[in-house]
Structure formats: C-alpha cells, structure tokens
Structure 1
Amino acid sequence: MRNVRAFMPPQGLLIVAAYLPQQWDIRFIDENVRSATKADYQWADIVIVSGMHIQRPQINEINELAHQAGKITIVGGPSVSGCPEYYPDFDIVHIGELGDATDAMIEYIDCHTERPSQQVRFETQERLPLTEFPTPAYHKLALDRYFLANIQFSSGCPYRCEFCDIPELYGQNPRMKTPQQVLQELDAMLEAGNPGAVYFVDDNFVGNRRAVAELLPHLIDWQKSNGYPLQFACEATLNLAQSPKLLEMMREAYFCTVFCGIETPEPQALKAISKDQNLSLPILDAVKTLNKYGMEVVSGIIIGLDTDTPETADNILEFIRLSNIPMLTINLLYALPRTPLWRRLETEGRLILDESRESNVDFLMPYEEVVKMWQRCITEAYDPDFLYQRFAYQCEHTYPNRIKVPNSPARVSKKNIQKGLTMLGKILLRVGVFSNYRQTFWQMAKPALKKGKIEQVIHVGLVAHHLIKFTQECARGEESASFYSQKLRRS
C-alpha cells in the first residue's frame, strides 16, 4: 500500500478531461495524491478546478495560487453548482452538469486569453445525455495511487430524503449510460492498470431497477470473459433487499459491498426525514438478506435529528450489535444548501453559520450533548473487540456466500501477488506486532491464515486498522464530527 495516496479518483474531473477538445494539452492533477506545483501553474494557460463543499477552502486557495501566476481560473462541479456564492473570486463559474454550458465555456476559452474584468457565468440548461458521455480519462491517472477505482452508470435518485441534495442537483428521474458504455469504461480502466476493486458512484445504483437488470448480465459476462479481475461495490437504498433477482445477479457479477443510507434505526426518525423506503421491511432483516448474497453492508448513520432523545445513542449501538455491520459512517446532521432540510431550518431560524461548530444545525437537544452522543457512538462502535466481533460474523455468515472466483491471470498476476504480500506484511507488522489490540487481531488472523484466507486477513486487518486509527483521532479531537464541517479543516 506504499503508493496509495487517496481513496478514489475524482470521477467528474476525469469526465471533463475526456470531454475537452483533444487538441488541448491537459495536465490532470488530483490534489489528494499530490499538490500542484509552481511549475504546474506556470505551465498552464487555464486552471480548471472542481470539488465538493468540504473542499471549499482548498478550491479557493487554488484559485489564489493560479491568479498569482496570472492564469484564468474556472470552477465547476457539485459545490459551485449548489452554491455559486462560495466562489466569488473565480474568473469563470460553470454551474450544473456537462452540457450546453460546457460547450459555451469551451468556445469562450478559445476566444479569450486574458482574465475577464468580472466573473463570467455559464449555467447548463440542456444536460448532455449520459449516453453521450466520453470514457473517463483513466489514462491520465496512476491508478495504483488509489485504494479503489470508480465508475458511474446512472445519475439522480427517485427519493426525496430531507437532508439530501442529490434530487435537486441531478434530478429524481435517474438517467443511465448504456451497458456497452460501462464495459468500454471498464476495459479502459484495465488498460490503465487493474485497481482490483471498483465502486459504482451512482447516487442510487438501483434507482431504476429495470436498467440495472439490463446492465448486470453484461457485467457478469464481462467478468467471466476477463477472469473476474474486479470486485464491485455500490451505493443503494436498503429496499434492494426486496429484489432477489437483482441480488442474485449482483452476486454473480461479484458485488461484495453495498453502502446503504440507513441513517437511524428509529422508525419515527425515518418518517420525519422522509426516508420511508427504509420502512418497507425490517432493517435488520434487510441487512441479513444482503449478507445472504455475500454483500457486506456499510451503513450511514446520522446523529442530531429532531427526533433524537437521550436514548438514541443506546439504540444506535444496539442496532450495530444486532446488525453486525462492521463499518458505519457516523456523522452529526449537517444541513446542505438546496435541500428540504436547509429550507426548513432556515424558516425556523435554526441554521447557525458558525464554522467553529461541528454542525450548522441548531439541534433540539443541547449541542454539547449531541456531540457527546457522537463521540460515544464512534468510540464504542470501533472499540477493537466490538469491531472484530462484527467482522467475525461477516467472515462466518457473509463472505462464504460469495461466488468462488477463478484463479485467473487477471487475479493472480505477479504484480497482484506482490501487492497482496506487501499489504499482508505491513498489516502483520503494524497491527500484529505494534498495535495495542494485536491479541484481538491474532484471534482472527491465526485461524484464517491456517486456512489460506489471506484476502480475508488483509481486508479485515486493513479496514479495522483505519477505523480504529480514525477513532483514536476522534478521541483526540483531531477529526470532525461531520464530513461537511469546516471546523478542523479551517484550523
């Protein structure tokens, strides 16, 4: 894992890089992997930036550095599309998805070599159909710098969860690429290097179930033809558990992980945040159904909902115990612009735009009490013994349900074997020798290694190590209680 510097490549920028005129000389830089240098800024004529709200300070810093070098700056992507006012100093803003605004922006760039006297705005009115999207510029990446690669099949989500901005940014009627496009992208990805795992970054992979049912047989055939080189993961609504035909095909295509926005185990809270799709069947039954098809569930959990009580932390921890979900993203509620939650809280006078706080929400419970609930849930959920108990359940009840993939050249190449042995060696050293929970680790690792389950030891050891390390950072106050908080990032 020595070369790994980031979790996933920036899919949106890869699409833009592929869409720009072929005669343009493009230098692609992901600042999660390396920062742009002074030489990079001097080389460029124009600096195009994209990112999410959480990256707003870095985006504006890049703008300043580019201006210092005298370059035209452009910002596009999800953050500026939701809040153009966050980026007043950029020369050009691109609002919305790829489409007519992109074409107009390219034409403008072709005709101008100097910075404009005031900000120029291009806003998409007609989106480019996903069926016309170019293959992402994977050739611009060093894929071995990423923990896993990503791909997009659809955009949009039919549901209207109160806290989510996806429907307003990308629509409620999911738009899809063709299966042939997806396969072409996978082929291009393998040409750039085998990442081993690919995450479908769709807002909701099963937002259009008929389209997914058409895609999956193509994925299955592609996996078989290529020797199952990739393990797939996706984000989907929990009611996927009610579609056994889809689940069987996903299993056959080697989907091993599904992120589900469970948010809370409390039914009244799910109703309050318009997450009724999670109430169509008992949550624990849905999780076990996904496990039955070999899919490990990763769950989103939100603390700070209006329905929370002093018992909410107990309810969440009991849910974690009963569900045996190892990894959960536990966050304080944060109101995003262009969401029903933002508008409701704004009307109620409950938005607090203070970046020294962990959240911009004026909770109904005392703020400090909500933060303590988060701290308790994080620290107890990722206590090494508790975490490894849940992984032990997955090893016994989930992983054995996956298909047995062949030892094909794509999977057992010399490079992959070396990569696996390097990862195993580091885990055995860092966790098995130097960690303060090494005894807990060896209780899992010894019997697994004796059975030759090396991939299992690597997966559990690696993921658990990062979760435990993250928890230690939270306990020291070095991590934010919300992915969207600017508190620590500002400092």
Structure 2
Amino acid sequence: MRQSLQRTAQDDLRGKTQKEAQEIARRILCVFPRYTSSFATFEHAYELTTGTRACMPPQGLLVIAAVLPKSWQVRFIDENMEKAGDSDFAWADAVFVSGMHIQRRQIDDICRRAHRHGRPVALGGPSVSACPDYYPNADYLHIGELGDATEQLIDILSQSVSRPDRQITLKTEARRNLSDFPLPAYELAKIDRYLIGTIQFSSGCPYRCEFCDIPGLYGRIPRLKTAEQMVAELDKLLACGVIGQIYFVDDNFIGNRAAVAQLLPTLIDWQKRTGYAVTFACEATLNIAKHPEILAQMREAAFDVVFCGIETPEPEALKGMDKKHNLVVPILESVQKINSYGMQVVSGIILGLDTDTPQSGRHILDFIRQSNIPMLTINLLQALPRTPLWDRLAQANRLDHDESRESNVRFLMPYDDVVAMWRECMDEAYDPERLYERYEHMMRATWPNRLPRPLSKARRAPANVRRGLTMLAKVLWKVGIRGDYRRPFWRFALPYLLRGDIEAILTVAISAHHLIMFARDCRMGRGNASNYSPKLRLVEEPATQ
C-alpha cells in the first residue's frame, strides 16, 4: 500500500504566509519519474536481491516534501517502483515532480497524466533549472534550489490549486542555507526497497571542469550541513530501514576538505554507536589521494567506495577539459593510494573528446587493465547546458539536437567510429572473464585494507542473516547454475564459499551481474551511451508487486 502521511516536518514559511498556509489543508502528490535504463540505474542487480525495486531515493523531492506546511498531506511515489495511478492523481490537489535530463520524456508523461485529471504540476530539480524551455507544459517551474521560490510556490497553492492560465516561473534568488534544511521525508519512501540509501552533506564544487554543470547550478563554494544534521539524517535512514550502503550525493565530497575533516570523526562515532550497520560511499576528485589524513578517517568511518571522475588516461585531454587536478598525482598512483585505505575506486570515463584518436579506445582499455578498476562508467561526451563545453560547442555550431543520436556533440572523429569505439570498450571491459579478474585483484589488493568491522548486533540481526542467505541462494542459482558465465563466477566464488565469506561473494557477484548484462544491452543497441544521453528508448513499466 502506498504511504499517504500527514506531514509533521518543520515549516519555514514566515509571517502571514506561514499562518495562512497552515490554515489550509492541501494534498500534494510527489512523483519521481522513472529512469531510462542506464549504467547507473543498476536494474539488472535487482533480481539477485531481496525485493530491491530501485537504485536510490531522490533527495530533492523528499526535502521538498519535508518543507511543506504541517497541515498539508503528502504522498510520494517513485515510478521506478510503481506507476502513479488515476486514484493518486484524483486524490491530489497538485503534483510535484523533479528530475534530470535523462528523465525528460517521463516528466512530460507525468504532466500529461496530471493534466488529464485537471491537476496543476510544479516542476523543479536540475533539468528544469538548467533548461526551463524543455518543459512548456508544466504549470509552475521552480528554478534553482530550495529558497524563496519554494515559499512563493507554497503561498500560491495555499490560495488556489486551479491550473494557471499561463506557465508561471519561480526563480530562487535567496537560497536556504543547507544548515537550515529539514530532514528529508524518508518516511514517505520505501527506503528498504532501494539498493542503497542517499544523504547529502554539501552542495557545489570548487572546480570548473568544462563538461560539468555543477558550478553553474550550485556554485563553486561548497555549502554545508552541520554534523548534528548528518547524525539526525543517518538515524532516520536507519529507522526507515536503509540496507547495506549509504551514498553521499555531494557533488564533490572533499570540495571543502576542512569541513570534511571535521565531519569524519562524527561519522566514526555514529558507526561505532550503531555497530557499523551500513557502509558509506561518495564522489570525490581524484586528488583526494594527496590527503592521507582524510583517507585514514574515511577508512575508519567505513567508506568502501569512492567514485572519481578520471575521465581519460590521456594528459592532454585532461588539460583540455580543465581537469588538471587529476594530474597532481599520477593517476595509477592515486588509484593505488585510495585502494590502500580499503576503498574501491569507481571511475568515470568519457569518449568523444576533441583530443580522441582512433587509438583512444585502446588506451582506455589498457588503463582499465593496468589500474584493475572493476567498475567504470564509460560514457560518450554530452554537452550539458550551463557549462563551458556547451558554450564552446554552440559557438562552433557543433551541437546536434537530433534525439536519435547517442550524443548531442558533433565529434571531430566520425560519429559512427566513436560509437563503435564506445561499444568495443564496453564489450571488452565487461567481458565476464576480464571483469572477474579485476574483482579478484580488488579482493587481494583493496578488500584486506578495510577497517575490520565488529560482528555487532546490527550486523548479525536475524533479518540481516536471512537477507544474506536469500541473496546467496539467488546468486548461486541464477548465476552459478543457470548463468551463461558460470565458469569465471565459480573460479572467483568457490574459494570464498568454502571459507564462508558470503559478503565477498555478494559484493562482487551482484555488481558484476549488472555490469555484464548492461554491457550486453549496449552491444545490442539497448543501452544508452551516457547517463545524460538524449536518445529516447522504450521505458518499461515498473513491476507492481
């Protein structure tokens, strides 16, 4: 049953607006659009888990849900799990939607369904904030982050929930401090049905990589939450049933190194208090390898994964995209340094750069072999609005808005050659034999360096044990018996199975299965060549079980 809860989260409306809004009960339907299948959705992993239906909960929409007036009722539906139905739209007075560029078509579909029921749609999030002209059919456009535009929207809806005669744009001029953010409304979401949980400590990044829209959207000076907020959010996530891992969605976790150094002791204390019930993951620039004092504390706080945008092993390409900070320490040395603190490096890789040659794909595959990084997001270059790359390519007439293409960039190399090079890289990188060899290296070179975790009450809880055994049974049956890459799986898994190391088997097998299957989708033309690809593909309906 979908949850429809009376909001009790803090309300930051001020003065008369606050009082008026509180006196009117509204029903708000928050709908998060389904993702088009991509590397990052991890949907192929779900069949090996216990009821996972989506990758991670959306922070933005759950924060917006938390700031609505106390008298308003809020219903949250993630369409990656189940589709909002006619009864949901009929229940609502207004519909809130947020999403990224890759969800554009699904956002339009939600607008159409809401309008069939005569409900106004308020759209916010990174896509509309960067490209409001993409969404002519939404009734209210919330441009920017939480702030005065949010208060204006609440004020408007407290007066009327009729659809306006024309589209209304509300732009945040005064952003709310992250330290004043409420706890996200995790209680509205089915947190235990997500592959991983999410949390945010900071927003913004000091670097200005040519292709990245983060500085344009969120600024170059990272804004921060307090340590007390983080503890409260972690406690709430745990109470709502988060399982396994919590991912810090910060644009760059070490964007403010001094603040992170102050936060990490709090995270370590929280892990000790909760018995290391979860592990952490984050995204950070590769120059984190220069700071062993931070890496040591991250190890003690049980950070197991760091996503680093390596992008390319070619130095001239890194200089061309204004990512010279990746060269402060030699790339392979940086990867090994992070590994030495027990953290797996996940890497972003880009093809289609102006500096690419027909040999660039082979250089990337050589780098993958040398670095032994198991998991890499290998994407074609996409030009995002509000980036230096977009401006440069627009001036050179090198943007292509044909949505049948895998990229909106007119490459200097022939388009078909670049796409073929990408498919070759995906095919070879995620060949089961090669992938499991890299995971075996990870288990030898990285896994033993992790902080030993106590066999705490939280970790040995009966529900946790049952979950692990159920997942092991699914892995052994679907991969070890019925799978067509059984040989490399058993070569890796059998020694760990004989030692009773179920955690090692599950950690590798579930991720590897998604990588292998998604690479096959790409080979068959069913997988997008980028998390931002404009190419429209069939979006399957989510299961309703």
- Normalised TM-score (structure 1): 0.99
Tell me if the contact between 1:263 and 1:299 (Cα under 8 Å) persists in the aligned partners: yes
* Aligned residue in 2 for 1:411: 459
What CA distance in whole angstroms lies between the structure 2 residues aligned with 1:57 and 1:142?
Answer: 24
What CA distance in whole angstroms lies between the structure 2 residues aligned with 1:488 and 1:412?
Answer: 44
* Aligned residue in 2 for 1:369: 417
| TM alignment of 1:183-194, pairs within 5 A | 183-194=231-242
| Shift of residue 32, structure 1, vs aligned partner | 1.0
* Aligned residue in 2 for 1:295: 343
1:181-212 CA-to-partner distances (Å, cap 9, x unmatched) read: 00000011111113221000000000000000
Relative contact order higher in (CA < 8 Å, ≥ 6 apart)? 2
1:110 is the counterpart of 2:192: no
What CA distance in whole angstroms lies between the structure 1 residues aligned with 2:535 and 2:203?
Answer: 31
Amino acid at match of 1:447: P
Tell me if the contact between 1:304 and 1:363 (Cα under 8 Å) persists in the aligned partners: yes
1:8 is the counterpart of 2:60: no
1:256 is the counterpart of 2:304: yes
- Matched residue of 1:41: which SS? helix
Which of 143, 153, 165 is the equivalent residue of 2:191?
Answer: 143
| Shift of residue 486, structure 1, vs aligned partner | 3.0
* Aligned residue in 2 for 1:98: 146
- Matched residue of 2:121: which SS? strand
What CA distance in whole angstroms lies between the structure 1 residues aligned with 2:533 and 2:272?
Answer: 43
* Aligned residue in 2 for 1:326: 374
Tell me if the contact between 2:339 and 2:445 (Cα under 8 Å) persists in the aligned partners: yes
| TM alignment of 1:63-462, pairs within 5 A | 63-462=111-510
- Matched residue of 2:253: which SS? coil
- Matched residue of 2:78: which SS? coil
Tell me if the contact between 2:196 and 2:242 (Cα under 8 Å) persists in the aligned partners: no
- The runs of 4+ residues in structure 1 deviating greater than 6 Å are none
* Aligned residue in 1 for 2:104: 56
What CA distance in whole angstroms lies between the structure 1 residues aligned with 2:189 and 2:166?
Answer: 34
What CA distance in whole angstroms lies between the structure 2 residues aligned with 1:442 and 1:406?
Answer: 28
What CA distance in whole angstroms lies between the structure 2 residues aligned with 1:187 and 1:218?
Answer: 13
What CA distance in whole angstroms lies between the structure 2 residues aligned with 1:352 and 1:268?
Answer: 25
* Aligned residue in 1 for 2:542: none
1:79-122 CA-to-partner distances (Å, cap 9, x unmatched) read: 11000001111111100000011011111110113111011111
| Shift of residue 427, structure 1, vs aligned partner | 0.5
- Matched residue of 2:210: which SS? coil
What CA distance in whole angstroms lies between the structure 2 residues aligned with 1:363 and 1:431?
Answer: 39
What CA distance in whole angstroms lies between the structure 1 residues aligned with 2:109 and 2:285?
Answer: 36
Cα RMSD, aligned residues only:
0.9
Tell me if the contact between 1:291 and 1:297 (Cα under 8 Å) persists in the aligned partners: yes
Tell me if the contact between 2:95 and 2:122 (Cα under 8 Å) persists in the aligned partners: yes
1:144-195 CA-to-partner distances (Å, cap 9, x unmatched) read: 2100000000000000000000001000000000011000000111111132
1:323-376 CA-to-partner distances (Å, cap 9, x unmatched) read: 000000000001011110000000001001100110000000000000011001
- Matched residue of 2:122: which SS? strand
- Matched residue of 2:75: which SS? coil
Tell me if the contact between 1:258 and 1:296 (Cα under 8 Å) persists in the aligned partners: yes
What CA distance in whole angstroms lies between the structure 2 residues aligned with 1:113 and 1:50?
Answer: 19
Tell me if the contact between 2:247 and 2:280 (Cα under 8 Å) persists in the aligned partners: yes
What CA distance in whole angstroms lies between the structure 2 residues aligned with 1:421 and 1:233?
Answer: 24
- Matched residue of 1:271: which SS? helix
Tell me if the contact between 1:80 and 1:93 (Cα under 8 Å) persists in the aligned partners: yes
- Unaligned residue ranges in structure 2 (runs of 5+): 1-48, 540-545
Amino acid at match of 1:337: P
| Shift of residue 2, structure 1, vs aligned partner | 3.8
Amino acid at match of 1:29: I
Tell me if the contact between 1:57 and 1:490 (Cα under 8 Å) persists in the aligned partners: no
Tell me if the contact between 2:353 and 2:411 (Cα under 8 Å) persists in the aligned partners: yes
Amino acid at match of 1:78: P
What CA distance in whole angstroms lies between the structure 1 residues aligned with 2:308 and 2:530?
Answer: 18
- Unaligned residue ranges in structure 1 (runs of 5+): none
Tell me if the contact between 2:213 and 2:387 (Cα under 8 Å) persists in the aligned partners: yes
1:218-246 CA-to-partner distances (Å, cap 9, x unmatched) read: 00001001101110000000000000000
* Aligned residue in 2 for 1:483: 531
What CA distance in whole angstroms lies between the structure 2 residues aligned with 1:90 and 1:138?
Answer: 26
Tell me if the contact between 1:383 and 1:468 (Cα under 8 Å) persists in the aligned partners: yes
Amino acid at match of 1:236: A
What CA distance in whole angstroms lies between the structure 2 residues aligned with 1:2 and 1:248?
Answer: 33
What CA distance in whole angstroms lies between the structure 1 residues aligned with 2:509 and 2:161?
Answer: 52
Tell me if the contact between 2:203 and 2:218 (Cα under 8 Å) persists in the aligned partners: yes
Tell me if the contact between 2:351 and 2:422 (Cα under 8 Å) persists in the aligned partners: yes
What CA distance in whole angstroms lies between the structure 2 residues aligned with 1:437 and 1:70?
Answer: 51
Paired residues, what number? 491
Tell me if the contact between 2:408 and 2:534 (Cα under 8 Å) persists in the aligned partners: no
What CA distance in whole angstroms lies between the structure 2 residues aligned with 1:316 and 1:227?
Answer: 40
What CA distance in whole angstroms lies between the structure 2 residues aligned with 1:432 and 1:389?
Answer: 17
What CA distance in whole angstroms lies between the structure 2 residues aligned with 1:385 and 1:398?
Answer: 20
| TM alignment of 1:20-31, pairs within 5 A | 20-31=68-79
| TM alignment of 1:34-49, pairs within 5 A | 34-49=82-97
| Shift of residue 490, structure 1, vs aligned partner | 6.2
What CA distance in whole angstroms lies between the structure 2 residues aligned with 1:490 and 1:362?
Answer: 25
Tell me if the contact between 1:131 and 1:177 (Cα under 8 Å) persists in the aligned partners: yes
1:418-439 CA-to-partner distances (Å, cap 9, x unmatched) read: 1111111100011101111101
- Matched residue of 2:349: which SS? strand
| Shift of residue 449, structure 1, vs aligned partner | 1.2
What CA distance in whole angstroms lies between the structure 2 residues aligned with 1:337 and 1:212?
Answer: 30
What CA distance in whole angstroms lies between the structure 2 residues aligned with 1:113 and 1:277?
Answer: 49
Tell me if the contact between 1:148 and 1:196 (Cα under 8 Å) persists in the aligned partners: yes
- Matched residue of 2:74: which SS? coil
